[in-house]
Structure 1
Amino acid sequence: MKKDILFLCQFFYPEYNSSATLPFDTAKYLAEHGFSVGALCGYPKEYNNDCNVPMKEIKDGVDIQRIKYIQLKRGSKIGRLINYFSFTFKAMLHIGKLKNYKSVIVYSNPPILPLVAVMANVLFKTKIVFVSYDVYPEVAYASKTLNPGSLISKVMNKLNHQLFKRVAKVISLTDEMKDFLLENRKELTEDKVVTIPNWAHEKIIVPSKEAYDRFGYNENQFIVSYFGNMGTCQDMETLMEAVEKLRNDENIKFLFVGHGNKVDSIREKIRKDQLKNIQLLDFLTGKDFEQAVAISSCCVVSLEKGLKGTCAPSKYYSYLQGGKPILGIVEEGSYLEEEITKEKLGYVTYNQNSDLLVKHIKHMSENKSECLEIGKRVTQVYMNNYDIEICLNKYVRIIELV
């Protein structure tokens, strides 16, 4: 008798990045609702504090099997490619495990991993549910990390053709991404694509003196925070220009928390220009992250131009859950611009317009009562649209129908 669903992903429990916590949340929820659930995932390294993680375990009803693979630093393109191919190759060696499941949920990261699901569909008729966190190879084209005529690009296009003609369901994170997929993946029909956004699950805490002291701020300062990846897809340049232009304003401070291939250049700019109004910290988890969000006066979500429809920043949902006014550095016409503007969640700046960003930050810092009202709307939007129960119930309905 086949089990119901296998999660196939590079990151999983006990790793603490969103690429691990979101699949594990989903797996747990499905197990709680009576499905037999397994996971085939990578052995944790970079996003894990536990040195004694077993190769196999059952956690919250999820039967987890982990794979050891080459894990180089993700800051370089070569390192990421080696990691992707190494994990996918090792997962292929375990393809027999997929024979025991009716369906597989596979994620777009790493982008070649769906090859394993396609092979399982060919060999065992395993149904495929594909979760599109990013749309490859277009997101790589837009971020200029991949050339359209390259060998990897050709491989990705052939893989996509095989994947999308076989999927039972595709999960897009936004309606904008759904429209992009339907327009650019001719194998898909509208009934196969379902929008399920990401969610957040940190505890919401009231900012305390301990939290301000922890990060070296005080409650009278206006703290502009950025959390998450600072990589190729994020417009950090516009944000850093605003930091520089506000360097002499003692009331406004910046807090950057996360990782990515732009971190080193940001750190160097802070050192070279002697910017005293910004802190740059590594990835935070648990109470540390919750405290950092709590003391933030507003939070920044940023995407480079040309990425519309191809990706969705996961930390946006943490900002909403935390009730924080949003500053968006986005492309004109994007879903982020539409939602932030329509719901009055904060203010929007287009790419390369740091002057407008500075204007928005100054306005918010001088109108804190307005920020409190924005925060109430932000919380309501999260509860109405992105609460974890709302999103996970959609996954239950999909698995019931597959």
Structure 2
Amino acid sequence: MKILLYSMNFTPELVGIGKYSGEMAQWLHAKGHDVRVIASPPFFPNWAVFEGHSAWAYRKTDWNGITIWRAPTWVPARPRALARLAHLFSFMVSSLPLLFAQIRWKPDVVFVVEPPLFCAPSALLFSRVLGIKSWLHIQDYEVDAAFGMGLVRGARVRRFALSIERWLLRRFNRVSTISAAMLDKARDKGIDETRLVLLPNWVDVRSIFPQPAGASDADGTTGYRNMLGIPADEVVVLYAGSLGAKQGIELLADAAHRLVAAAHIHFVFCGNGPSREPLKAACANLPRVHFIDLQPAERLNELLGMADIHVLPQRADAADLVMPSKLAGMLASGKAVIVTAHAGTELSNVVSGRGMVVAPGDADALADAIAQLAVSRPQREAMGAAARSFAETELDRNAILQRLDRELTRCVAEPLAVPAPTGSRP
């Protein structure tokens, strides 16, 4: 099968959409599919183009047998609302020539990853011109999130943007997304049940697996703990991932301040992004708060295994519009997880029984939950075992990508017909 993956974010980005798009392309290629990719230069989560790549030039490269075309893309240093929109729009415009250059190749399916939704119209047009199938994979409901988080305002603008989004979504042959709640939202937008696919962000449970928090490396050291000067018998609270607006990262500094007297608790923040410097400033006078950059993929298991407790803050206004991709690795590591989410949200439902859930924005509740787990190894171990079991049964990479492979085959084999729009649920 010829698959054209149209994904702004792509490897070598270590976190977020780029990580998953890269792993998906690699897996499908290994299964014998002919995969080509249209992407931007890598920039996430630092919001700076990676060394060796250009923001202003078209590039064609080969990555393990996969051809990647990079479209020049403007990357703002401060991704505020208008700057972010201009950033997404720049990729859409610059990638158009690359997209329509694939007409001679004629893929069997064009697989578009949202964000950015800006690329959906051109992908649909491309699929109609060639008479091929179209697939939209939603990692974030960026329209809902932009208005929900106050990045874009105005009732009329919102109604117009949502109506355009619904019109586009209903015209793809398949629409997939990463959680049950996000799938429900797709139904609410009028997408027919027969065209919906659940495709959660996965984890390689053979590469990420439980290990003691103070486990020694082959040379007798204790890895990251040794590097950071953290004794093996003290408790590490770890956040590992991008540091951006949707995470509500400032809550971690508030919790660390409340636990400053707990001499056995260390906070480790591993990540990069726009919120890193404000977070460092907020923690400047705290003695047991440590910062490290994003780590290479080959050390991810060691990094996650350093933790006794994983923390995952999320803003309430982003609930069920996004699903944190970093959660899968946390669960697979077999350690207790604390998330901030309202009851009934997808994030709450996944973590309940496998960790602790506290209200978004409640620093006291988060600090109390950390303090409770820090003194109860049996509770941490029980939650970690339940988390690992869930990862093995629900989030295994091979199982999820095999499902994708089957659905792609089924989609391509169906008679070609323009999806008929259906009404929204009341």
TM-score higher than 0.5: yes
Summarize the Cα distance change of 1:381–1:281 in structure 2 as closer, same or farther, 3 Å threshold. same
Q: Who is 2:309 aligned against?
A: 298
Following superposition, the deviation at residue 60 of structure 1 comes to: 3.5
For residues 334-366 of structure 1, what are the alpha-carbon distances to aligned partners after superposition, in whole Å with 9 as ceiling and x for unaligned? 12212222xx21111012332222222112111
Q: Who is 2:184 aligned against?
A: 179
Summarize the Cα distance change of 1:43–1:339 in structure 2 as closer, same or farther, 3 Å threshold. closer
Q: Secondary structure at the match of 1:179?
A: helix
Q: Who is 2:85 aligned against?
A: 81
Q: Distance in 1 between matches of 2:149 and 2:312?
A: 17
Q: Secondary structure at the match of 1:91?
A: helix
Q: Who is 2:64 aligned against?
A: 60
Q: Who is 2:97 aligned against?
A: 93
- Alignment map for 1:347-366 (pairs within 5 Å): 347-366=356-375
Q: Who is 1:259 aligned against?
A: 272
Q: Answer yes or no: is 1:331 the counterpart of 2:342.
A: yes
Unaligned runs of 5+ in 1: none
Following superposition, the deviation at residue 382 of structure 1 comes to: 0.5
Q: Who is 1:51 aligned against?
A: 52
Match among 4, 16, 30 for residue 32 of structure 1: 30
Please tell me whether the aligned partners of residues 98 and 104 of structure 1 are also in contact (alpha carbons under 8 angstroms).
no
Q: Who is 1:368 aligned against?
A: 377
Question: TM-score, structure 1 length as denominator?
Answer: 0.90
Please tell me whether the aligned partners of residues 12 and 42 of structure 2 are also in contact (alpha carbons under 8 angstroms).
yes
When the two structures are aligned, how many residues end up with a matched partner?
A: 393
Please tell me whether the aligned partners of residues 235 and 329 of structure 1 are also in contact (alpha carbons under 8 angstroms).
no
Please tell me whether the aligned partners of residues 181 and 346 of structure 2 are also in contact (alpha carbons under 8 angstroms).
yes
Q: Answer yes or no: is 1:383 the counterpart of 2:383.
A: no
Summarize the Cα distance change of 1:362–1:36 in structure 2 as closer, same or farther, 3 Å threshold. same
Q: Secondary structure at the match of 1:382?
A: helix
Q: Distance in 2 between matches of 1:26 and 1:97?
A: 23
Q: Answer yes or no: is 1:164 the counterpart of 2:177.
A: no
Q: Secondary structure at the match of 2:316?
A: coil
Q: Answer yes or no: is 1:125 the counterpart of 2:131.
A: yes
Following superposition, the deviation at residue 292 of structure 1 comes to: 2.5
Q: Distance in 1 between matches of 2:387 and 2:267?
A: 21
Identity %: 19
Following superposition, the deviation at residue 247 of structure 1 comes to: 0.8
Following superposition, the deviation at residue 291 of structure 1 comes to: 2.9
Q: Who is 2:234 aligned against?
A: 221
Q: Answer yes or no: is 1:189 the counterpart of 2:192.
A: yes
Cα RMSD, aligned residues only: 2.4
Following superposition, the deviation at residue 299 of structure 1 comes to: 0.6
Summarize the Cα distance change of 1:98–1:148 in structure 2 as closer, same or farther, 3 Å threshold. farther
Q: Answer yes or no: is 1:134 the counterpart of 2:137.
A: no
Following superposition, the deviation at residue 182 of structure 1 comes to: 0.9
- Point out the more displaced range, 38-47 or 90-99: 38-47
Summarize the Cα distance change of 1:365–1:46 in structure 2 as closer, same or farther, 3 Å threshold. closer
Q: Who is 1:320 aligned against?
A: 331
For residues 359-397 of structure 1, what are the alpha-carbon distances to aligned partners after superposition, in whole Å with 9 as ceiling and x for unaligned? 221121111132123222211110101010111011101
Q: Secondary structure at the match of 1:333?
A: coil
- Alignment map for 1:273-284 (pairs within 5 Å): 274-284=285-295
Unaligned runs of 5+ in 2: 217-221, 412-426
Q: Distance in 2 between matches of 1:324 and 1:263?
A: 24
Please tell me whether the aligned partners of residues 132 and 172 of structure 1 are also in contact (alpha carbons under 8 angstroms).
yes
Following superposition, the deviation at residue 49 of structure 1 comes to: 6.2
For residues 28-68 of structure 1, what are the alpha-carbon distances to aligned partners after superposition, in whole Å with 9 as ceiling and x for unaligned? 22222232221111233557866279933343342322223
Match among 198, 202, 210 for residue 201 of structure 2: 198
Please tell me whether the aligned partners of residues 81 and 152 of structure 2 are also in contact (alpha carbons under 8 angstroms).
no
Q: Distance in 1 between matches of 2:13 and 2:258?
A: 37
Q: Distance in 1 between matches of 2:236 and 2:271?
A: 16
Q: Which amino acid aligns with 1:313?
A: P
Q: Which amino acid aligns with 2:192?
A: T
Q: Distance in 2 between matches of 1:96 and 1:30?
A: 22
